[in-house]
Amino acid sequence: MAADIEARYSITLAGLSIGKASLSAQLNGAGYVLNVSSALTGIVGAVSQGRGAATARGNVSGTSVLTNGFSLSATNGKDTRKIQIAAASGSVRNVTIDPPFVVQPDDSTRIPLRDSHKVGVLDPVSALIMPVRSGNPMDKANCDRRLPVFDGNQRFDVVLSYAGTRQVRSEDGYSGPVLICTARYIPVAGHRPDRRVTKFMAENRNMDAWLAPVNGGKTLIPYRISVKTMIGTTVIEAETFRPD
pLDDT tens-digit readout, 198-244: 999 999 999 999 999 999 899 999 999 999 999 999 999 999 999 87
pLDDT at 106: 87
Residue type, 130: M
Q: Give me the architecture of the 2-242 domain, per CATH.
A: Beta Barrel (2.40)
Q: How far apart are CA 86 and CA 155, in angstroms?
A: 15
In the prediction, which pLDDT does 43 show? 65
Q: Low-confidence residues of the chain, pLDDT below 70?
A: 1-2, 43-48
pLDDT of res. 98: 97
What integer pLDDT is reported at residue 243 of this predicted model?
87
User: In this predicted structure, what is the pLDDT of residue 206?
Assistant: 97
In this prediction, residue 125 carries a pLDDT of: 97
**In the chain, where are the structural domains located?**
2-242
Computed on alpha carbons and rounded to an integer, the radius of gyration of the chain in Å comes to: 18
For the chain, the first-to-last Cα distance in angstroms comes to: 11
- pLDDT at position 178 is 98
Question: What span, in angstroms and rounded, lies between the C-alpha atoms of 58 and 126?
Answer: 8
- State pTM to two decimals: 0.93
CB 132 within 8 A of CB 142: yes
The alpha carbon torsion through 48, 149, 164, 225 (nearest 10 deg) reads 10
Quote the pLDDT of residue 29: 78
Task: Note every long-range contact of 168-172, with CB atoms under 8 Å and residues 24 or more positions apart, other chains counting.
Answer: 168/210, 168/212, 168/223, 168/224, 168/238, 170/223, 170/238, 170/239, 170/240, 170/241, 171/239, 171/240, 172/239, 172/240, 172/241, 172/242
pLDDT at site 83: 97
